[in-house]
Structure 1
Amino acid sequence: MTTPPKRKRDRAATRAALLAAARARFTLVGYDATSVRDIARDAGVDATLIFRYFGSKERLFEEASQLLREPVDTGTDDAPAYLPTRLLHTAMRQDEDGTAGGQPLTALLLSSSRPQCREQLNSQLYDTYVRNFEELVDLPDRELRAELLTAWLIGINVARSIAHTPALSDACVNDITPYFEQVAALLLGTPPPGESSP
């Protein structure tokens, strides 16, 4: 009797499964509390494949949090009032299954006790949020206003993804957007979307 040939492993699918499992784990409990065995078990593969495909747990973490480094669509110059809304949507980006888990920002927040993660978090917050907000402000305290709005965005993320406060956790981005736009307009000194300058 002939032994059936072994099925060839789909490298791309395995890598994708490991990245998805890693993102979910790192977001749930952070870097230190996540083991490679947990990630491999969630992905349905052997833990040795993490080292084969990524080299180390740290490299896997870096790749799993890569989404935060993606360029943000800042839109066109003729609609700057919509930039805060686009950045809110970026901060609340959800996985394809509709859950709030798997967000790289949350993974970085939970892992910020590690110097490398803290450095990456600081860099990405500034590059993705603070600098973009600063460009909308034409006031002497523009840095403070931009950082305050960024802090509110981070607070929304923490309340939903880490603290799981009931009202924010149940709210979708469209529920939050009108409130966020009003506060953003106040902090940035710009008219809310849809309103013209006085």
Structure 2
Amino acid sequence: MSTIDDLARGLALQKRDREATRARLLEAARLRFAREGYDATSVRDIARDSGVDATLIFRYFGSKKQLFDQATAADLPADLLEGPQEELVARMVRTVVDHDWSEYGGEHPLVAMLRSSAHEDARRRIRREVCDTYVNALRDLAEGEDAELRAELLSAWMVGIGILRSVVATPALAEARAADLAPHIETVATGLLGRPMSGTVDQRGESSRT
């Protein structure tokens, strides 16, 4: 009986070790891809950052591309598309400005993926995530003609905020918080969507206007 118990404990320990190693590889990959992009990041860099042999990356993930896909697959805040419609843009901007993306080097994963935009797979993912997450939701809110165009313009504005903050690091925007942007969010979102929009998010779930 003790032999069976020892075997079970040994297998459980091996599983925990594999999971811990896999988690370290993902963490190192997120930071490397965010800072340097896909092409400039090597498997050896990630393995060295994780303190493991590079062969483990292929054992756990199959390829560098599959590691990239998993490392950059972020779960957006659960409440992003929930809550009052007039606060949607404010919630979207908050994910760029105030959300904790420290595991991605402090950047929104979408901005981090832009560093890999020379890679065709990355471009497709960026296009898909921007359209599915942002453009479609904003288009459904827009009133009047050219809803798709206005939704894309507003999405471009929000992506631009992320780029200027973390890639270009323009001084005023890099230091600004969501509260600082609130009146401008309201003005731009209201103008482009053709309906009253809020610049802030009420933490109690009630609409809060600036």
1:69: Cα distance to partner? 7.2
- From the CA coordinates, give the structure whose radius of gyration is larger: 2
**SS of the residue aligned with 1:113?**
coil
Q: Which moved more, 1:89-98 or 1:17-26?
A: 89-98
> Is 1:83 the counterpart of 2:88 in the alignment?
yes
- State the identity as a percent: 47
1:64: Cα distance to partner? 0.9
How many residue pairs match? The answer is 187
1:25: Cα distance to partner? 1.0
Match of 2:186 among 164, 177, 181: 181
CA distance in structure 2 between the aligned counterparts of 1:173 and 1:24, rounded to whole angstroms: 24
Match of 2:120 among 112, 115, 124: 115
**SS of the residue aligned with 1:121?**
helix
CA distance in structure 2 between the aligned counterparts of 1:104 and 1:121, rounded to whole angstroms: 10
CA contact (8 A) 2:142 2:193 kept: yes
CA distance in structure 2 between the aligned counterparts of 1:41 and 1:81, rounded to whole angstroms: 47
1:122: Cα distance to partner? 0.6
> Is 1:147 the counterpart of 2:146 in the alignment?
no
| Corresponding position of 1:94 | 100
**SS of the residue aligned with 1:66?**
coil
> Is 1:29 the counterpart of 2:15 in the alignment?
no
Gapped regions of structure 1 (runs ≥ 5): none
CA distance in structure 1 between the aligned counterparts of 2:103 and 2:26, rounded to whole angstroms: 15
Matched letter for residue 122 of structure 2: C
Matched letter for residue 100 of structure 2: Q
More helix by share: 2
TM-score computed with the length of structure 1 as normaliser: 0.83
Kindly tell me: are residues 151 and 167 of structure 1, through their superposed partners in 2, closer, same or farther at Cα, counting changes over 3 Å?
Answer: same
Kindly tell me: are residues 98 and 31 of structure 1, through their superposed partners in 2, closer, same or farther at Cα, counting changes over 3 Å?
Answer: closer
> Is 1:66 the counterpart of 2:73 in the alignment?
yes
> Is 1:166 the counterpart of 2:171 in the alignment?
yes
**SS of the residue aligned with 1:10?**
helix
Gapped regions of structure 2 (runs ≥ 5): 1-9, 199-207
CA distance in structure 2 between the aligned counterparts of 1:27 and 1:65, rounded to whole angstroms: 9
> Is 1:13 the counterpart of 2:20 in the alignment?
yes
CA distance in structure 1 between the aligned counterparts of 2:34 and 2:103, rounded to whole angstroms: 15
**SS of the residue aligned with 2:74?**
helix
1:11: Cα distance to partner? 1.7
CA distance in structure 2 between the aligned counterparts of 1:99 and 1:63, rounded to whole angstroms: 16
CA distance in structure 1 between the aligned counterparts of 2:158 and 2:75, rounded to whole angstroms: 14
Kindly tell me: are residues 27 and 72 of structure 1, through their superposed partners in 2, closer, same or farther at Cα, counting changes over 3 Å?
Answer: farther
1:94: Cα distance to partner? 2.9
CA distance in structure 2 between the aligned counterparts of 1:182 and 1:118, rounded to whole angstroms: 30
Q: Which moved more, 1:152-161 or 1:173-182?
A: 173-182
What RMSD, in angstroms, separates the aligned Cα atoms of the two structures? 2.5
TM-score computed with the length of structure 2 as normaliser: 0.79
CA contact (8 A) 2:142 2:194 kept: yes
| Corresponding position of 1:54 | 61
Deviation sequence 1:147-166 (CA, Å, 0-9, x none): 11100111111112211222
CA distance in structure 1 between the aligned counterparts of 2:158 and 2:133, rounded to whole angstroms: 12
| Corresponding position of 2:204 | none
